[in-house]
């Protein structure tokens, strides 16, 4: 995709860049539009950003996996914190009402130092009555949070594994070609080769991105030979160390090295 320099953008292109540079669906949506045969010039803006809709407000967390596995995990953790805070507020509301209405107070003249430090319900000054219910409520919430933490970790592990299964990135697919010229070592030369050989009847803008890769199968023989030489070198080091320590004759050692 040919990108327009910043100094050549008009007002409409600058406005599109402002809109589409925000967080949007960039993986599966782009892939489906390209598979349906839509023109890449309509899929991408002049600055190279995909024209995709934003995420819905009530979307699944697994749909955010195309932004990275940490994004859905972060939102799941925030959801857990909000849920625990809401439960704590609902449980504390009747306790606060009961303490301030003096229906559950224990009749003590002074608040304890612990409850006054935590600013629990009823301990707004030094002479107010107090109750054991606020402290008990906080203790129950702490224990509940400790119990719910392993459940949260298990859900996050499941979400981390399943976040990328339903998402397809455009860079997940590649085309292996043969016949490249010997001097095709950068993206510009490879793009020119693809345009001239495969896209004879299409404009060069159909090439969205070119990534250089290497086929390691051509280097398997060299890697195997290097590993074999490395093992023989290790044997040679051990034999030389034993020869220098014990003063043994080296002919038997070298014959063993050749046979191995």
- Kindly state whether residues 23 and 77 are assigned to the same domain: no
Q: Is residue 188, in this structure, part of any structural domain at all?
A: no
- Kindly state whether residues 40 and 104 are assigned to the same domain: no
Which pLDDT belongs to residue 83? 85
Distance of CA 217 to the CA centre of its chain: 30
Q: Which two tokens stand for residue 197?
A: 């050989």
Which pLDDT belongs to residue 179? 60
Tally of domains in the chain: 2
Q: What is the pTM of this model?
A: 0.42
Q: How many CA atoms lie within 13 A of 65 on its CB side?
A: 18
Which pLDDT belongs to residue 1? 45
- DSSP string spanning 49-107? -B--PPPPTT--GGGGGGG-THHHHHHHHHHHHHHHHHHHHHHHHHHHHHHHTTSS---
- Kindly state whether residues 15 and 76 are assigned to the same domain: no
The residue range of the domain holding 18 is: 9-53
pLDDT band for position 4 (50/70/90)? low
CB 212 within 8 A of CB 187: yes
- Kindly state whether residues 78 and 157 are assigned to the same domain: yes
Q: CA 74, CA 82: separation in Å to the nearest integer?
A: 12
For the stretch 75-82, contacts whose Cβ atoms lie closer than 8 Å and that sit 24 or more positions apart, written own/partner, are 76/152, 76/155, 76/156, 76/159, 77/152, 77/156, 80/148, 80/152
Which of 139, 165, 191 terminates a domain? The answer is 165
- Kindly state whether residues 91 and 147 are assigned to the same domain: yes
- Kindly state whether residues 134 and 77 are assigned to the same domain: yes
CB 166 within 8 A of CB 159: no
Condensed to tens digits (0 to 9), the pLDDT of residues 220-239 reads 777 788 888 888 888 888 87
What end-to-end distance do the CA atoms of the chain give, in Å? 56
Which pLDDT belongs to residue 256? 44
Condensed to tens digits (0 to 9), the pLDDT of residues 202-220 reads 555 555 555 556 566 666 7
- Kindly state whether residues 33 and 107 are assigned to the same domain: no
Condensed to tens digits (0 to 9), the pLDDT of residues 139-187 reads 777 888 888 888 888 877 777 776 655 544 444 444 555 566 666 666 6
Which pLDDT belongs to residue 168? 45
Condensed to tens digits (0 to 9), the pLDDT of residues 13-31 reads 666 666 666 666 666 666 6
Which pLDDT belongs to residue 225? 83
Q: Which residue has the higher pLDDT, 248 or 45?
A: 45
Give the helix, strand, coil percentages of the chain, each rounded to 5: 60, 0, 40
Which of 134, 165, 196 terminates a domain? The answer is 165
Condensed to tens digits (0 to 9), the pLDDT of residues 28-87 reads 666 666 667 777 777 776 666 677 767 767 777 767 766 766 777 788 888 888 888 888
CB 131 within 8 A of CB 122: yes
Q: CA 111, CA 127: separation in Å to the nearest integer?
A: 7
- Kindly state whether residues 44 and 86 are assigned to the same domain: no
Which of 110, 133, 165 terminates a domain? The answer is 165
Q: Is residue 147, in this structure, part of any structural domain at all?
A: yes
- Kindly state whether residues 80 and 137 are assigned to the same domain: yes
């Amino acid at each position: 995709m040919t990108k327009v320099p910043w100094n050549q953008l008009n007002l409409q292109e600058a406005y599109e860049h402002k809109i589409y540079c925000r967080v949007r669906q960039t993986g599966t949506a782009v892939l489906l539009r390209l598979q349906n045969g839509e023109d890449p010039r309509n899929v991408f803006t002049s600055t190279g950003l995909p024209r995709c809709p934003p995420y819905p407000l009530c979307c699944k967390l697994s749909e955010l996996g195309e932004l990275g596995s940490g994004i859905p995990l972060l939102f799941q953790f925030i959801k857990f914190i909000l849920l625990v805070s809401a439960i704590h507020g609902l449980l504390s509301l009747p306790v606060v009402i009961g303490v301030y209405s003096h229906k559950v107070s224990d009749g003590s003249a002074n608040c304890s130092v612990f409850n006054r430090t935590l600013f629990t319900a009823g301990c707004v000054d030094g002479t107010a009555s107090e109750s054991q219910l606020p402290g008990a409520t906080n203790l129950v919430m702490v224990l509940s949070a400790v119990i719910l933490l392993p459940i949260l970790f298990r859900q996050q592990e499941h979400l981390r594994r399943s976040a990328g299964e339903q998402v397809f990135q455009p860079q997940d697919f590649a085309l292996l070609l043969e016949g490249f010229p010997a001097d095709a070592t950068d993206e510009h030369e490879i793009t020119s080769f693809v345009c001239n050989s495969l896209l004879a009847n299409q404009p060069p803008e159909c090439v969205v991105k070119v990534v250089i890769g290497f086929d390691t199968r051509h280097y398997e023989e060299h890697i195997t030979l290097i590993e074999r030489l490395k093992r023989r070198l290790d044997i040679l080091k051990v034999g030389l160390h034993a020869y220098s320590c014990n003063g043994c004759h080296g002919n038997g050692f070298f014959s063993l090295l050749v046979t191995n």
